[in-house]
Structure formats: structure tokens, C-alpha cells
């Protein structure tokens, strides 16, 4: 763009139905925006994000010869990419776009104050216009993509991801810490519903893995280092003390979860009071016939102050095992003491119904009045009967939650991805990106995200493969234009920026004595520019000049 | 979709694209047609709580942003009357009354059926009074009432109150009209209708035939006016709904209807109760359920927070009956299992968490696709191959196969795409080889 080109800003003010227009006077904003410097065109839209609204932006860029676009609407978090691409489609550099949030940060919080809210929205628009005038076109970096994937974890989720990627024609490195594939399923007897033998499921899946030449299985192995970035990761895999380095375009995390050992709960002793997980092992060998009564207690160490979450799959596991006991020994009494029977969906509820028909007894307990275990009995207050029940229990089974593996933490650090408060991996968006991380090129599936049964783990494994394939199937990709830049003429080489960079995107060039930015790793967080004492580190799209323009405008009011 | 021929990797599909009577290449979605259209129709998108025009967009952000004529309701297309107002006002010339259904054929390697589900109609459950008691609504209807762009702008106006407001509006028009009708007599006899009425009542005058007609009209007018006053008095006391009862497992876990659990409804009710509290701080919500199945990531924590911060009370048990109490307030009859007592709770509104039924027409689609359905009418899959139907090359995801929530549906959608891609890529490779 020539230096002296006249700045012509188009401002689009969104009603968002009544979300904004219901609480803020749009006409006032439109008239006000027309008075601002450099503004050449202003238009209100019922929904700027609708196809009609987007077409209006594109049309106006051409018809009004606009070279900057400001949309005053909702949040850039959800809608900036859409508006940017509208600019790009109309031939404008997509970074000559500025978004002003007059909904989430204005109309929604000032619903009772129409006049003041309108005034604030006008301030926000004035700031946005001032910043837009100083925007510069930015370029995106082109990257090549290595057409291979690293799958960490060889359980059912990881194997499902690996087989799917291999069938799509990609090279897969499947890394498993244990000496064999199968993960948690290796420890289970049968699976709910339908009592499928877990061993058969594992054997079939391993058969698929082995039949695919594209999968390089590394058992007894761990990933010890991961460098690089989306499309071009270099992973170091250690097997028996030897390290090997492979190049992949994407990483899928499928490390599963552990079962909590119920130490300290309900007189757990591993003999007469065991975990549901330990019962799985005993059931495989056949339960001792002397056991005539079994009491199962749900939510042991879960849905409690120390572990607030529900582990999703323990109720179905208990019901399945209760049925197995009744089938093997119809005289055995089995009672399940529960808080809510989490038999969600079609299959689980069917199983629940079948269990009741088979004579498994279900009793609600109030967590404020938990059951008492001792001397071959379990005492529990039965609310419907209004009295305490004394249940004989040759065996007490405690259903404990799945908990994050200890290696979740180091792996998260290695991949630079976040964990949630329970140390499960934190997906990119709870609803819309369940299998993606916020970090590009890294995906997740199975119980390392949140407890999942086999059906769910398989589906998630395939889903993560699909998400990974959307990248691997591209010849090349582009990174964001909003990255940091360090001016090497003014940089004093203090390396303060390097210390604060959370993405290890900054390195110190010894020879030149200045810091430099790897613009692929840079996520545009701006920590470096806020730290730099000489103002040499600038975040493109958020330069000091652009931000000062905004601040000047808000103070000018 | 009308026909599927061929096999996995080489399907030939025949699709009928229904006429929308608007050329989608010309329509800009400006909406001036709907503004001028003279015909109002009950709005399905707003669950019948609002009206739309006969030319309409199903909802504002719909893609593509193109209007459609609802032919059976259109004066010109459906009722053989002369109209064409939409065509006249459309500057893009997009309205096309002659448009016909199109038959489109295309070739694909794999098919994914993601037809979703349909909400169970609770009017078949006699004891819950849906359709008879105004203030018993479904969770989806309640969703529209909570929506800022919905029929009430997000205010929890009660359906019975809205009905009364509507009646007031209509009565006002009638009273106005009847009042004008009286003017003719009042001018002729130079007396106010009420004054003359008093005289007739007291026997001071004996009216002639025309005056009898006058007084008959006046009686009608006075009747309407007094009804209007009493309704207005009633309406002056209207308030938004602040006491809400959410009833779980309506049509689900019920042998008469669907024995399965619909999975997402517990969280839906918790969410609606939390949002209701955000809209109106006086809100008290009661969630009645056998189990509160908060089984997704973060769901249990959300449920507990709803109890602590939004004051939701969770009451264990299945509601036996809903009756109508004073002031159109529903009464919820239930056994409080914690104290083993039958109780009735009076609330302003009841929200039914209705079951997830198989999509309408899924049986027909299954016939066309040649796939099996399960005993409830969802697409049959198995736990080890959760996206595969009984036919090779045909996959499914989301609520078409069983009830599930958004994250699981989104994950499954990717999974189904993976299964389809595996197949298509392998076939392409074979063709290259």
C-alpha cells in the first residue's frame, strides 16, 4: 500500500438481534461513527455475521473503496476470523480489520442503563476507529507439513486414532509406555453392555494395528522431547535407553487414566473390601463361591470435596459386574449403594433395567449419611424405608473414579498444552473443540481428557484422527500475522523477552547480540512487548502506536 | 434424499431439492418481502410462541441467508388468491412463484447420516397436563422464552399471562369498535349511552325499536368493557415467573414411551435454571428427577454450582401429576422420598424435560439407505464400531444413533468423517494403482 493512501474506514454496527439493539441505541452510534475522523462509511446490520451482513461488508469495501474495516458487535474470540476472511475475500488485507466488542463488554453488562451503555459503546467505537487508522497490512507465514503423526498412548483410543490415520495414508508412530498395546483394556474382563470380552476387543484392534504397514509401534517407549511446531514437530522417543528422533506434522495425546486406589476409604484392605477395578481381576478368574453377598458403594473418592468430578463410567461398570456375579451365582445377593445412577443414554439405561430384572438391588444413600463398612456388614440408611439397613457383605466393592496419570503433567509440559483442575488434559473448547487443544497441531482423545467408556474412546480416537487429518491433508499452511517482531537496531540484548515467552518462541542471537522471534512458535500473546525496556519488541496488530491511539481517544472523552 | 444406488465407494445419490419459490442466487436476505407479506403464520422456530410471515427465514442466522415461501400458507401459492406483494417489493427480483422441486444426482464414496432427533411431544402424557395447563411448557419452549431474541425478549412472561395480554389487546379493539357503533345513536338521540341506559332501567323512558337496538348494542359494549377492566386489573398484577419446576424424564425412562435415558436433559434443565436466575434474581428453581445425570466433563461441578450459587433445589423422585391451581399456577404433585411424604408444590411455571425421539422420517430414510434401526428407531451401531451402520460405506453420528450431548456429538461428527475419509482415500489409492 502506498504511504500516502487516504485512510477510508468502514464501520459496521451490529444489532445482534436484540442482544445489542435491545439495550443500546444503534441509530445514535451510527450517526456518531459518521463524525469520526477517517470514517468513510457506516452501516447498521441486524446480524453482521449472517450471510447478508458479510456480503454487505464485502460489497461496501469495493463500492466505498474502504481500506480499513471496523465491526462493532460481539467478541473477536468467536467472530474475528469470519470478518477477517470477509475482508480478504473482498481483496483487503485481513489484518486491516478491527473488532469492537459492544455486546459482551457493553450491552450485556449495561442492560439497565441504555443511555450510559450507548455512551460507552460510542467510546469503544471511537477507540476502535483510532486504532484501525494505524493498522498495517500483515503477512502470514507459509509452512510445509510433514505427513506423519505421533500418537502417545497405545490404549483403545490411541490405537483407534493410529489405525484411522494409517488407513488415510499417513505415517504413524504409536508410542506405548508399557511392553504391550491395549492400555486399560488389558486389565478388564468384559465390557458393558453385552459383556464383550475386553481381551477380544484388544486382540482385534492390535490385529488391525499390525496389519497396517504405516504404523510404527514403539512399545516400552516414552516421548522425552518435542521440538518444533505444527506441521514440523521433532519428537524424541526413548526405547530401552536408546533415543530416536522422528519428524511428524501432528501429535495425538491418548495416555488414558488410572483408577484411584481407595486407600483410606471404607476400611479398604484389598481382601474383603476391594476396588471395583480389583473386582474385574477376580471376576476374570471366577469369584469364590463362598461369597454369597456383595455390596458395591459408588462415588468413593468422587463427587466429594477432594475430587469434585463425576467419573462417568463407574456406574455402568458396577452394574455390569453386579450382573456378572448374579449370572455366575444366582443365589448371591448384590446391592449397589448409589447417589445417582449415571446410566445415561440408550445402552446404559437398558443395562440398568436388565440388572434390576436380574435381581441386583439398588439403594440410594445420602452423602451426608454415608454407608458404614465393618465386620462383614454394610450399614446404610434407606430413605424410602426410613430406616437403617444392615446388609451382609462377604465382599465390599468400592467404585473409585478414574484419575489423571502422573505422567499427564510432564507430557503436558512437553507439548505445551494445559491441564484442567483435575489434571485431565484441557481441550480447546468444551463444546465445539472437544478433541483439539488451543495449541495448534496437538489433539487429544480418550480418558486422558475425561473418563470414557470403550464406545466413547473409540469414537474420540477416530475423531482425533479426523481432526489431525484436516491438517495432514494440506500441502502447506499459514500462520497468524499477529506475531511479535524485535527491532534489532534498538534491541539491547537483555533477554527479558526470552524469559517471559511462554512458547519458547524467542532466542538470543549471540553473534548479533539481539533477541529474535520464531514467528511460527509465536502465539501473539504480547508478553515480550510488555516486558521490553527499549520498546524494541512490538506485537504486530497491537503496536505501541496502535494501543496509544486507543488510550488517547478514551482519555480524550 | 430419495434414492441410493451402488455400493460403498461408488454410491449414486438422488436428492430432491424442494422449491422455496425464491431464487437463492438472487435473494440478498434483506427481508423487505417478509416486512410487507400480509399473512402471519405461527412460528415453529419460536415453538408457536410468536408469529412469522408466510415468506420467512427459519431463524435469523440461518445459512444460506435466503427467504422461503411457506406455500400452504401463502395467499398466492396455497390459497389461490391474488397477492404477489413479496414479488413486487423484492428489489432483487428473487421471488419465483413458478419454481419447481429439483432432482439432483451426485456420486459419492461414503454417506454420513447426521439427521439428529426430534423432541418428544408430551401431550400424550395425561398426568402432566401439557397442552391443557398454559403454564406447563417444554424445555425447548422455555429456551425460546429465555432467549434475548425470542418472543419475550428473554423475560420469563408466563404463557397464561401472554394469553391474557393478547385477549386484552383484542378486546380493546372490539370495545373501540363497539364504542364507535354507539356514537351514531348518541349523536342522533343527543344523549350518552350510559345515561339513556339508566333511564330505561329506571323505567323513566320506554324505548322505541331503534332505541332497543341501541341498548342491545350498549349491553354488548358494556359487557366487553367490564371484561376488559377485570382483565386489565388482573394483568396489572402480572409478574414474570419466579418459581420454576423442572420435571425430568418426560417420556424417557418411562415404559409407556421410551425406556431409555435421553442423556442431555438433566444438564439442559440445570442450565435453564441457572440462566433463569441470571435473568431474574428472585428466581427459585426446583429440579425433580430420579437421578440427576451430570456425567460430562465439568457437569457435576456445574450442577453443584447451580445449587450453591443459583439456589436450585434438586428433589429426588418422579413427579406424579401436575394440576392447575389458583392464578394459573401449576401444582406439582410428588413424593418427597427423603421424608416419604406426598406433597404439592405451587409454582409459576413448569418446564418438562422431554425425551429425545428418533428423527421424524428416519424409518423411511433407513429404508432408502438400506440400514437397520434399533428397537427404538435410532440408527443401529455397535460399541466397537460406534460410527458404522449395518451397511458398509454408510456412517452415522450424533443423536441419529442415540441421545447424546454437544461435545459427544461434535467428537462423533469428526469420527464419522474419519471413517468416511478412510474409505474414500483407500478407494482413490486403489484407482490410482
Do the beta carbons of residue A141 and residue A518 sit within 8 Å? no
Sheet of strand A39-45: strand arrangement: A39-45, A9-14, A68-73, A97-101
Q: Are B101 and B14 in contact (CB under 8 A)?
A: no
CB pairs under 8 A between A and B: 176
Grid cell in block for residue B313:
433445589
Q: Count of CB atoms within 10 A of residue B79's CB? A: 13
DSSP secondary structure of B277-299: HHH-TT-EEEEEESS----STTH
CA angle A228, A231, A237 (to 5 degrees): 55
Domain assignment of residue A177, given as a range: 148-256+405-476
Domain identity same for A223 and A285: no
- 50-69 in chain B: CB under 8 A from chain A: 60-65
Q: Who's near A214: CB < 8 A, 6+ residues apart?
A: A165, A166, A169, A170, A171, A172
Number of domains in chain A: 4
d(CA A401, CA A382): 24
Note whether A533 and A499 are within 8 A (CB).
no
CA A389 to chain centre: 44
Q: Collapsing DSSP states into helix, strand and coil, what is residue B68?
A: strand
A1 occurs within a structural domain:
no
Q: Which residues of B touch A341 (CB under 8 A)?
A: 291
Q: Say how far apart CA B406 and CA B296 lie, in whole Å.
A: 10
Res A450: pLDDT:
98
- Lowest-confidence range among A18-22, B61-65, B203-207, B307-311? B61-65
Grid cell at residue B13: 445419490
DSSP character string of B346-406? E-SEEEEEE-EEEPTTHHHHHHHHT--B-TTSSBP-BTTBTTB-SSTTEEE-GGGTS---H
- Rg over alpha carbons for chain A, rounded to the nearest Å, is 30
CA distance readout (Å), B288 to B265, B282, B283: 12, 20, 16
pLDDT surpassing 70 at residue A4 = no
What's the CA gap between A130 and B30, in Å, rounded?
31
In the numeric block, which cell numbers belong to residue A359? 435381581
Complete DSSP assignment for B92-123: T--B-TT---EEEEEEES-EEE---EEE--GG
Residue B189, phi then psi, degrees to nearest 5: -95, 0
The per-residue pLDDT for B325 is: 96
The answer to whether the CB of B81 falls within 8 A of the CB of B25 is: no
Q: Are B269 and B354 spatial neighbours (Cβ–Cβ below 8 Å)?
A: no
- Alpha carbon distances (Å) from B23 to A128, A507, B66, B96: 38, 57, 8, 7
Cβ <8 Å between A194 and B316? no
Helix (H, G, I), strand (E, B) or coil at A391: strand
Determine how many CB atoms are found less than 10 A away from the CB of residue B49: 18
- Residue A290, φ and ψ in degrees, nearest 5: -70, -15
The answer to whether the beta carbons of residues A212 and A167 sit under 8 Å apart is yes
Nine-digit cell string for A218:
514403539
B379-433 pLDDT, tens per residue? 999 889 999 999 999 999 999 999 999 999 999 999 999 999 999 998 888 877 7
Residues 43-102 of A with CB under 8 A from B: 46-47, 49-52, 55
Please tell me whether residues A536 and A431 are part of one structural domain: no
CA angle, B205 then B207 then B211, to 5°: 130
Q: Identify whether residues A466 and A535 lie together within a single domain.
A: no
Q: How far apart (Å, rounded) are the C-alpha atoms in residues A256 and A178?
A: 12
ipTM score of complex = 0.90
Q: Is A24 helix (H, G, I), strand (E, B) or coil?
A: coil
Chain B contact for A207 (CB, 8 A cutoff): no
pTM value is 0.85
- State whether A344 and A355 are in the same domain: yes
The answer on A264 and A397 residing in a single domain is yes
B160-190: pLDDT as tens digits: 999 999 999 999 999 999 999 999 999 999 9
Cross-chain Cβ contact B65/A52 below 8 Å? yes
Q: End of a domain among A380, A402, A424?
A: A402
Residue A45, pLDDT score: 92
Neighboring chain B residues of A460 at a CB cutoff of 8 Å = 411, 415
* CA nearest neighbour of B55 among B46, B72, B47, B64: B72
**Same domain assignment for residues A276 and A391:** yes
Q: What CATH number does residue A497 fall under? A: 3.30.70.20
* A33 and A123 together in one domain: yes
Q: Which chain B residues are Cβ-neighbours of A169 within 8 angstroms? A: 425, 429
Map grid coordinates 497491537 to a residue: A542
Nearest-by-CA chain B residue for A50: B61
Examine the domain organization and report whether A131 and A160 are in the same domain.
no
Q: A527: pLDDT confidence band, cut at 50, 70 and 90? A: very high
Sign of the CA dihedral with B314 first, then B315, B316, and B319 last: negative
What pLDDT score was predicted for residue A13?
A: 97
Kindly state the helix (H) or strand (E) to which residue A528 belongs, with its residue range: helix A527-531
- Helix, strand or coil for residue B423? helix
Closest partner residue to A463 (CB to CB) among B29, B384, B418 is: B418
Do B414 and A463 count as a contact with CB atoms less than 8 A apart? yes
Residue A512 reports pLDDT greater than 80: yes
Is the pLDDT at A50 greater than 90? The verdict is no
Set of cell numbers at residue B265 = 436433559
Q: How many C-beta atoms surround the C-beta of residue B176 within 10 A? A: 11
Task: Give how far A196 is from chain B: nearest CA, Å.
Answer: 9
Which of B148 and A55 is assigned the larger pLDDT? A55
Cα atoms in the 13 Å half-sphere on the side-chain side of B47: 18
Which residue of A168, A204, A303 is in closest CB contact with B422? A168
Q: Do B419 and A462 touch (CB under 8 A)?
A: yes
A15 and A122 assigned to the same domain: yes
Question: How far is Cα B106 from Cα A256, in angstroms, rounded to an integer?
Answer: 42
d(CA A167, CA A484): 39
Average model confidence (pLDDT) for chain B? 94
From residue A27, how far is each of A24, A124, A140, A332, A517 by CA, in Å? 9, 16, 37, 76, 45
Which residues 371-400 on chain B approach chain A with CB closer than 8 angstroms? 374, 376, 378, 383-387
In angstroms, rounded to a whole number, what is the distance separating the alpha carbons of residues B124 and B256? 10
Residue A44, strand partner residues: A13
If you search the block for the grid coordinates 472523552, which residue do you land on?
A557
Cell numbers for A68: 480499513
Query: Grid coordinates standing for B316?
Result: 429426588
The pLDDT value given to residue A1: 45
**Looking at the domain assignment, is residue A238 inside a domain?**
yes
User: Rounded to an integer, what distance in angstroms lies between the CA atom of residue A362 and that of residue A223?
Assistant: 45
Look up residue A106 and give its DSSP letter.
Answer: I
CA distance A56 to A404: 49
Backbone phi, then psi, for A533, in 5-degree steps?
-75, -20
Q: What is the pLDDT of residues B224-239, one digit of tens each?
A: 999 999 999 999 999 9
Residue B375, C-beta contacts closer than 8 angstroms, at least 6 positions apart:
none
Residue pair A345/B263 in contact by the 8 Å Cβ criterion: yes
Check whether residue A124 and residue A183 sit in a common domain: no
- DSSP percent split of chain B into helix, strand, coil, nearest 5: 40, 20, 40
The string of DSSP codes covering B129-166 is: -BTTBTTEEEHHHHHHHH-TTSTTTT----HHHHHHHH
* Cα→Cα distances B87→A55, B39, B68, B112, Å: 22, 14, 12, 38
A76 in Cβ contact with A121 (< 8 Å): no
Among the partner residues B291, B300, B406, nearest to A341 by beta-carbon distance: B291
Check which CATH number belongs to the domain holding A266 and give it: 3.50.50.60
Q: Distance between CA atoms of A38 and A11, rounded to whole angstroms?
A: 10
Decide which of A351, A368, A402 is a domain's last residue. A402
The pLDDT of residue A3 is above 60 = no
Q: Which of B148, B300, B386 lies nearest to residue A309, judging by beta carbons? A: B300
A38 within 8 A of A133, measured Cβ to Cβ: yes
Q: Are residues A209 and A235 in the same domain?
A: yes
Judged by DSSP in three states, A250 sits in strand
The last residue of one of the domains, among A138, A173, A206, is A138
Asked whether residue A130 falls in the same domain as residue A101, the answer is: yes
Q: How many residues does chain B have?
A: 433
Read off the DSSP letter of residue B338. T
Residue whose grid cell is 486403489: B430
Pairing of strands A242-248, A372-374: unpaired
Q: Is the pLDDT of residue B28 over 80?
A: no
Distance CA B345, CA B213 (A): 51
- The Cα–Cα gap between B143 and B398 comes to 21
Region A263-270: mean pLDDT is 97
Of A191, A344, A353, the CB nearest to B293: A344
CB A364 within 8 A of CB A338: yes
Contacts of A469 in chain B (CB under 8 A): 418, 421
Q: What is the mean pLDDT of residues A110-135?
A: 95
Chain mean pLDDT for chain A: 94
Contact assessment for residue B292 and residue B251, using Cβ atoms and an 8 Å cutoff:
no
Which residue(s) pair with B349 in the sheet? B244
HEC readout, A272-338: CEEEHHHHHHHHHHCCCCCCCEEEEECCCCCCECCECCCCCCHHHHHHHHHHHHHHHCCCCEEEEEE
Amino acid at each position: 500500500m502506498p504511504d500516502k493512501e487516504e485512510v477510508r474506514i468502514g464501520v459496521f454496527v451490529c444489532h445482534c438481534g436484540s442482544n445489542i439493539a435491545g439495550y443500546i441505541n444503534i441509530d445514535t452510534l451510527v450517526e456518531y461513527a459518521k463524525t469520526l475522523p477517517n470514517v468513510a462509511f457506516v452501516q447498521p446490520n441486524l446480524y453482521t455475521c449472517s450471510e447478508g451482513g458479510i456480503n454487505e461488508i464485502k460489497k461496501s469495501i469495493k463500492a466505498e473503496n474502504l481500506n480499513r474495516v471496523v465491526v462493532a458487535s460481539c467478541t473477536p474470540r468467536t467472530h474475528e476470523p469470519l470478518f477477517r476472511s470477509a475482508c480478504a475475500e473482498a481483496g483487503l488485507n485481513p489484518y486491516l480489520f478491527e473488532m469492537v466488542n459492544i455486546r459482551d463488554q457493553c450491552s450485556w453488562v449495561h442492560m439497565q442503563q441504555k443511555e450510559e451503555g450507548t455512551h460507552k459503546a460510542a467510546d469503544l467505537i471511537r477507540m476502535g476507529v483510532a486504532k484501525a487508522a494505524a493498522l498495517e497490512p500483515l503477512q502470514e507465514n507459509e509452512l510445509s507439513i510433514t505427513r506423519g503423526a505421533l500418537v502417545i498412548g497405545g490404549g483403545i483410543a490411541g490405537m483407534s486414532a493410529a489405525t484411522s490415520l494409517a488407513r488415510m495414508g499417513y505415517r504413524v508412530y504409536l508410542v506405548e509406555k508399557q511392553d504391550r498395546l491395549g492400555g486399560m483394556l488389558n486389565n478388564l474382563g468384559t465390557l458393558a453392555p453385552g459383556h464383550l470380552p475386553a481381551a477380544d476387543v484388544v486382540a482385534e484392534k492390535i490385529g488391525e494395528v499390525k496389519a497396517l504397514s504405516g504404523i510404527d509401534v514403539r512399545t516400552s517407549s516414552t516421548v522425552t522431547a518435542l521440538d518444533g511446531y505444527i506441521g514440523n514437530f521433532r519428537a524424541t522417543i526413548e526405547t530401552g535407553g536408546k533415543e530416536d528422533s522422528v519428524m511428524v506434522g501432528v501429535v495425538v495425546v491418548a495416555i488414558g487414566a488410572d483408577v484411584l486406589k481407595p486407600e483410606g476409604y471404607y476400611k479398604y484392605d484389598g481382601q474383603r473390601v476391594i476396588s471395583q477395578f480389583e473386582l474385574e481381576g477376580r471376576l476374570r478368574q471366577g469369584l469364590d463361591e463362598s461369597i454369597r453377598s456383595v455390596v458395591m458403594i459408588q462415588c468413593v473418592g468422587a463427587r466429594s470435596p477432594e475430587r469434585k468430578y463425576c467419573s462417568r463410567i463407574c456406574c455402568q461398570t458396577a452394574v455390569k459386574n453386579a450382573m456378572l456375579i448374579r449370572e455366575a451365582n444366582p443365589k448371591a445377593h448384590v446391592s449397589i449403594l448409589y447417589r445417582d445412577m449415571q446410566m445415561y443414554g440408550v445402552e446404559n439405561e437398558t443395562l440398568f433395567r436388565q440388572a434390576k430384572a436380574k435381581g441386583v438391588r439398588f439403594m440410594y444413600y445420602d452423602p451426608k449419611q454415608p454407608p458404614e463398612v465393618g465386620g462383614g456388614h454394610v450399614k446404610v440408611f434407606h430413605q424410602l424405608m426410613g430406616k437403617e439397613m444392615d446388609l451382609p457383605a462377604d465382599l465390599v466393592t468400592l467404585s473409585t473414579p478414574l484419575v489423571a496419570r502422573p505422567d499427564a503433567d510432564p507430557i503436558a509440559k512437553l507439548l505445551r498444552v494445559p491441564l484442567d483442575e483435575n489434571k485431565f488434559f484441557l481441550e480447546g473448547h468444551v463444546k465445539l473443540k472437544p478433541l483439539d487443544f488451543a495449541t495448534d497441531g496437538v489433539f487429544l482423545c480418550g480418558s486422558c481428557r475425561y473418563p470414557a467408556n470403550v464406545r466413547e474412546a473409540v469414537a474420540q480416537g477416530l475423531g482425533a484422527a479426523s481432526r489431525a487429518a484436516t491438517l495432514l491433508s494440506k500441502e502447506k499452511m499459514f500462520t497468524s500475522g499477529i506475531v511479535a517482531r524485535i527491532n534489532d537496531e534498538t534491541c539491547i540484548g537483555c533477554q527479558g523477552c526470552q524469559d517471559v515467552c511462554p512458547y519458547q518462541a524467542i532466542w538470543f542471537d549471540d553473534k548479533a547480540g539481539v533477541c529474535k522471534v520464531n514467528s511460527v512458535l509465536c502465539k501473539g500473546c504480547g508478553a515480550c512487548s510488555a516486558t521490553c525496556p527499549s520498546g524494541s519488541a512490538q506485537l504486530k496488530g497491537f503496536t505501541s502506536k496502535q494501543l496509544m491511539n486507543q488510550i488517547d481517544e478514551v482519555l480524550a472523552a | 434424499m430419495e434414492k441410493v444406488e451402488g455400493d460403498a465407494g461408488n454410491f449414486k445419490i438422488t436428492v430432491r431439492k424442494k422449491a422455496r419459490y425464491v431464487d437463492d442466487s438472487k435473494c440478498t436476505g434483506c427481508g423487505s418481502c417478509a416486512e410487507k407479506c400480509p399473512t402471519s403464520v405461527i412460528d415453529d422456530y419460536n415453538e408457536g410462541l410468536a408469529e412469522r410471515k408466510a415468506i420467512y427465514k427459519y431463524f435469523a442466522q440461518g445459512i444460506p441467508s435466503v427467504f422461503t415461501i411457506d406455500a400452504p400458507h401463502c395467499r398466492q401459492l396455497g390459497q389461490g388468491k391474488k397477492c404477489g406483494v413479496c414479488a413486487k417489493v423484492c428489489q432483487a427480483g428473487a421471488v419465483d412463484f413458478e419454481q419447481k422441486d429439483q432432482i439432483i444426482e451426485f456420486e459419492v464414496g461414503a454417506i454420513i447420516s447426521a439427521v439428529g432427533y426430534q423432541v418428544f411431544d408430551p401431550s400424550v402424557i395425561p398426568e402432566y397436563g401439557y397442552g391443557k395447563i398454559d403454564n406447563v411448557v417444554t424445555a425447548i419452549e422455555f429456551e425460546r422464552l429465555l432467549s434475548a431474541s425470542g418472543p419475550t425478549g428473554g423475560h420469563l412472561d408466563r404463557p397464561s399471562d401472554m394469553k391474557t395480554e393478547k385477549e386484552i389487546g383484542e378486546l380493546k379493539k372490539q370495545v373501540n369498535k363497539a364504542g364507535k357503533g354507539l356514537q351514531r345513536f348518541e349523536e342522533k338521540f343527543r344523549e350518552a349511552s350510559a345515561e339513556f341506559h339508566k333511564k330505561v332501567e329506571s323505567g323513566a323512558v320506554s324505548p322505541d325499536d331503534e332505541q332497543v337496538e341501541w341498548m342491545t348494542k350498549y349491553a354488548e359494549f358494556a359487557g366487553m368493557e367490564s371484561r376488559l377492566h377485570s382483565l386489565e386489573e388482573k394483568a396489572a398484577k402480572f409478574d414474570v415467573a419466579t418459581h420454576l419446576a423442572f420435571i425430568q424424564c418426560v417420556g424417557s425412562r418411562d415404559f409407556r414411551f421410551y425406556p431409555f435415558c435421553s442423556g442431555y436433559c438433566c444438564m439442559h434443565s440445570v442450565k435453564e435454571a441457572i440462566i433463569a436466575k441470571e435473568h431474574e434474581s428472585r428466581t427459585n428453581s426446583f429440579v425433580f428427577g430420579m437421578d440427576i445425570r451430570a456425567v460430562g466433563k465439568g457437569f457435576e461441578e456445574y450442577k453443584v454450582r447451580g445449587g450453591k450459587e443459583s439456589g436450585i433445589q434438586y428433589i429426588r423422585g418422579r413427579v406424579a401429576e401436575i394440576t392447575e391451581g389458583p392464578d394459573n399456577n401449576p401444582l406439582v404433585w410428588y413424593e418427597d422420598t427423603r421424608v416419604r411424604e406426598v406433597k404439592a408444590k405451587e409454582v409459576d411455571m413448569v418446564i418438562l424435560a422431554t425425551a429425545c425421539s428418533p428423527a421424524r422420517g428416519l424409518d423411511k430414510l433407513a429404508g432408502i439407505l438400506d440400514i437397520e434401526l434399533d428397537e427404538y428407531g435410532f440408527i443401529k451401531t455397535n460399541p466397537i464400531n460406534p460410527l458404522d451402520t449395518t451397511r458398509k460405506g454408510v456412517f452415522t453420528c450424533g443423536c441419529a444413533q442415540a441421545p447424546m450431548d454437544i461435545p459427544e456429538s461434535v467428537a462423533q461428527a469428526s469420527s464419522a468423517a474419519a471413517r468416511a475419509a478412510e474409505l474414500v482415500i483407500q478407494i482413490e489409492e486403489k484407482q490410482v494403482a
